[in-house]
Every structure is written in C-alpha cells, then in structure tokens.
Amino acid sequence: MYEKVQSLSLQSRALLPVRWMPAESILYGKFTTESDVHSYGVLLWELFSFGLQPYYGYSSAEVVEMVRRRQLLPRPDDAPVAVYQLMLDCWQQTPGRRPTFEQILARLSEWRRAGAVGGARSLAAAAEVGRSLEFATRYFAAEVCVRIFLLLVFLKTELTDPFERQIRPEEAWVYSYPQMDSYVPGSALWFLVVSVPVATIGALFLINRDWIDLREAGLCSSLALLLTGIVTNCIKLARVDLPCTGSAMLVSEGRKSFPSGHASLAACLAVFTCLYLSGKLGTFTERGRRQSHKLLVLFPLLVAALIAASRTCDYHHHWQDVVVGGALGVAIGWICYRHFYPAVTEAGADRPHCVAGVDDTPLLPQHVPTSSAAAAAASESDVKWM
C-alpha cells in the first residue's frame, strides 16, 4: 500500500497496467492509496464479469483516452446494483471522494451479514432497486411536474387576499408601529433564494461533473423552497383586520405578517446549503474531523439569522413571527434534504439516496471486434501492458 502523499514520476515509457489505473496515475504518475482503491473497483468488475478483461476489444491507447474522458465500465449482468455502486464510488474522478479500504471492508462485511450479495433472491431485489434509463426519465419528468404544480399553488397563495379577523380595541397597540423601509427588501430575498442554490449546486457540478447529484440537488432545493413558501403563505392568510391606509399591496402585505416569509425562506435556504455542503465536504464524518475550515459551512445559518432579526429591527414583524417562520423553514429544509440525501454524519453523505450511476452515468460503449483474429491480436498486444 502506498503512502497517502506518495507520488511517482514517470521518467520513461514503462509498461503499465492502464486498464486498472485512474486518470491521475496515467497522466501524472501519481500512485496513492486512492489510486489503489480505483484499481480495486476494476478488480471487482473482473470478478463479477467472470474474468473478462476490462475494456475488452480496445487498444491500450484507446483505454487511456477513455479513462481520461471518464467512460466507465458498464455494470456486469450478475453484479447487484449495490456492488456496482461500490465500483462507481471507487472510480470517482476526485481521489478524495473515493472510499477508503476500511470503509470498503465495512460495507462488504455489512452485506455479508445482511446477505445482500449473492443468491438469486438478492440479485432479483438488486435488479428491482436499479433504475433503467426509461424509468429515470419518467421519474424526472414527474418530479418536474410536481414542482410546476407547487409553483402555481405558491403563486395562488401569494396573490390571495388574507382572511380578515377582527381585533379588540385594546389590542391595537400591539400592531401600532411606524412604517419603515425593509433592511432586506423582498427583491434581495428572492435574489438569494434563486442565486444561492444555483451557485452552490453549479459550482460543485463543475468540480465533480456528477449529473445525478446535479439532478437530485436541484430537485431537493426546489421542493424545499416551494413547500416552505406554500406553508408560510397558507398560515399568513388568517390575519387581523386593521384600519389601514396607503397602497393596497402594502396593506395586504402588512396583514399577512405571521409567520415571517423572510425568516422561513432564509432559514430553509440556509439549512439546505449548510447540509448540502457538509455532506460534500464530509464536515461531520471521519474525514472531516479536526479540519476547522470545514465548519465554515455553518455560515449560511448566521446569514439567515441576521435576515430574520432584521425583520424585527425594521418593525415589519414581531419576534413571534420571526421565530415561527424560522422554525418552519428549518423543519421543511431538513425534511426535504433527508428525503434526497443521507445524514451528514454518514460516510456516504456526499451521495444522494438514489442509485447513483446506474441510470445516468455514461458507460463504456460496447465494442465487438470485427473478427476473432482481431480480438486475438488485441489481447496479445494488451499482454505487454501487464
């Protein structure tokens, strides 16, 4: 086993087992424990392919190009989805995202105890869990339709006039505050609600190139924000009747003050961003311990708290409005995140619940040699790289 920081420089065109090597080993000559994990994933593929040569039918030069473009080996017919997921984890492009051998051993031991690997029954169950491309397309289309429906419901509740509840004269002092401009205008809040998830998810996609995580994170954040807006607006509709003058929009907005929409949306956005980044960085897992800089993922919570507090400073809300709105946003944000992602303390916190890679990962295109002689020649030439 190589040391974690060990790096070898390729001084000559040595013969190398490129079919088992990750991109950083082929291109830059880096051989580490993480590159060994990648090779172990290829070994697993060989075992479940009954000894089939990885990238069979391709020359070594073609294999190098395929590894560089991340054309992954397809799932063997007899490999359960859970085992293929382990292979994909071993083949992560970023070395730090690959599991350690201790984590691999723990996962295999858990499968052995649970009987999740081997046997016709487990294979059938794994096949049932795996999603085909057609199912994944239907799943995504259905999720998009749900969010379009939720958006229409949100707009309806946002534009509906509130129910006017009568108040006693002695209660009027509770609502008698001067009108002031918002420290955080609604336009600024909506800019944060839209831009922060897009920037966060987009930046991580550009780093990891993970299409499945891009899809799941987008679905998760949109569901959380829409549900928070709908629940907040529904509660807002029951409000007090006050003798108010001025713009009809301002009057309606003033009557719909409980709970605070700023507090609920900001809290929901902060919780999602914090949990999402924590899972990606492993802040609360073994690999994130004693790395204080990773605690900066908590910064969105501070921003959300300041936005909520500003609503009491500009006399737009009572503290009860802010507290209830913040609690509402935190609860919905956490529920939606856990609906799509595991707990941030788990080893696989950076991966969504869905079977990643089975339905969307670009797989190695099947290649059949034109003749048996060509296959024999390819096999003979590949032996030199062993």
**Residues noted as catalytic:** 262, 317
* Six-digit token string for 137: 């397309």
List, in sequence order, every residue forming a beta bridge with 163; answer none if it has no partner. Answer: 238
Looking from the CA of 237 toward its CB, the CA atoms found within 13 Å total 12
Cα angle at 126 between 122 and 132, to 5 degrees?
155
Number of Cβ atoms within 10 Å of the Cβ of 52: 12
DSSP assignment string, 225-274: HHHHHHHHHHHHTEEE-----S-HHHHHHHH--SS-HHHHHHHHHHHHHH
- On whether the CB atoms of residues 336 and 272 are closer than 8 A, the answer is yes
- On whether the CB atoms of residues 280 and 325 are closer than 8 A, the answer is no
In 3D space, the residue among 27, 37, 17 whose CA is nearest the CA of residue 87 turns out to be: 37
First to last CA, the chain: 19
CA 343 – CA 3 distance, rounded (Å): 30
Q: Is 165 helix (H, G, I), strand (E, B) or coil?
A: strand
- DSSP assignment letter at 354: S
